[in-house]
Amino acid sequence: MSLALWAAAATGVQVGAAIVASRFAVAEVPPLTLAMLRYAIGFACLLPFALRPFAAMPRPIPARDLGAMAALGIGQFGVLIALLNFGLQRVAAAPAALIFSLFPLLTLALAAALGRERASWRLLAGVVLSITGVGLTLLPKLHAGAQGSGWWGELAVLGAAATGALCSVLYRPYLQRYPVVPVSAFAMMASVAALALLALPEAWPARLATFSGVAWAAIAFIGLSSGIGYFWWLYALKHESPTRVTVFLALNPVTAALLGWLLLGEQPGAAGWLALLPIAAGLWLAATATDNRRP
């Protein structure tokens, strides 16, 4: 397996761990405020490593590319994470992570529709198997749908996955032109600026002093891991097709299920454990599929 796919796998684990940590924080920290703090810390981590390659560029980045990268950053870090945090206020960590693993199927569909990628049978089978795992975990919710509390949380997590899929497909041209770290840092900076404004109705400047030590510890972990994880993510997207990279997000429900069980007492049902089998098979098929990027 290539270094880029190892980076994608590490990102899948990081996303699952961050989802569990977010479950600790969302009880005290509003969704937009949590997203802003997450990426403010991530940006601070990346900035020292971004300055030198940015200064070494032979010519300035055109304003059109800067605008596009800023929009992608706001989508990837702002819209996606705000929707995910909203969903985590209503959905437990493990099922939220499994819904989020629809990410690769949406990525494959978008990449194929835009002519960026050909879908080989192995890659398609890997994606379908991972989606089968998601379906298994949602069976109890489907049976209880008439008596449940609604689907707003699940729809928010699904919207986060769709936003991430779109951004993953559209990032590639800019990763081909510019170094990964400056792109990561600039995208995060744009999202932090947007989120700081959007989170003002949550009164975040006044509320910072009210968060507990546990909430701050969770925020710090989420922010530090997100800075590292996003660099891994863009590195993987630079060197592999979007679908092969995003299918490794299927590792996030495995991580979230185990950590949610150990740390939050969220006992997965039989369907949740059974879902790990098709997810593992799907990852193997995706990792061994040939690269089907269109030239």
- Give the residue among 242, 221, 224, 222 at the shortest CA–CA distance from 233: 242
**Hunting for tokens 């819904």 — which residue is that?**
99
pLDDT mean over 222-241: 85
- pLDDT tens string 155-182: 888 899 889 888 888 888 888 888 888 8
224 CB neighbour count, 10 Å cutoff: 15
Domain ranges for the chain: 3-288
On the question of pLDDT at 119 being above 80, the answer is no
Query: From CA 203, how far away is CA 145, in angstroms rounded?
Result: 35
Strand partners, 231: none
Q: How confident is the model at residue 221 (pLDDT cuts 50, 70, 90)?
A: very high
Out of 4-8, 92-96, 215-219, pick the least confident.
92-96
**266 or 16, higher pLDDT:** 16
Could you tell me how far CA 173 lies from the centroid of its own chain? 20
97 burial class (0-12, 13-18, 19+ CB within 10 angstroms)? buried
pLDDT mean over 209-229: 90
Chain mean pLDDT for the chain: 79
Q: Where do the H-state alpha helices sit in 146-241?
A: 152-177, 180-198, 204-207, 213-239
> What's the first-to-final CA gap in the chain, in angstroms?
22
- pLDDT tens string 243-272: 778 777 767 767 777 777 777 676 666 666
